[in-house]
Amino acid sequence: MSIERKEIDPPELFKHPGYKRVVTVQGDMKLVFIAGQTPSDDSYQCVAPGDLRAQYIHVMENLEIQLKAAGADWDDVVFRRIFVLDVDEFGKVVYDETVPKYGDGRPPSTLIGVTRLSNPEFLIEVEVWAVVPAT
């Protein structure tokens, strides 16, 4: 069983530093859809209120746990959707060299600025889709 993954940044378009333009996958595969991860603890209380950097790291670490549970890792992620309250602040966090990197950091992505998430203290929510070989 194999999966062919092709990453495309069409030469006619500017190469975005934050994401690849297109990823195609084909073959014997399992699709993994992970619901939006918020910066919450086991009681659904906000982790690190007011600190987008800490919330981002918490969210990404929890997504890593979920990917692993599905038999995937960051290199298997083919799409990412990010909701943030402050797009400018998110840019500072995600391009900060001291913030851990998760995979190559460039799956096709959509960044959406919102006025509120499910808890008023949440500053970020991230969902990912991944593809792994069928089992």
Cα–Cα distance measured from residue 80 to residue 7, given in angstroms and rounded to the nearest whole number: 15
Candidate CATH numbers 3.40.50.2000, 3.30.1330.40, 3.40.1450.10, 3.20.20.140; the one for domain 3-133? 3.30.1330.40
Q: Indicate the pLDDT class of residue 3, thresholds 50, 70 and 90.
A: confident
Residue 110 pairs with which residues in a beta bridge? Answer: 81
pLDDT at 110 over 80: yes
Is 90 exceeded by the pLDDT of residue 4? no
For the chain, domain boundaries: 3-133
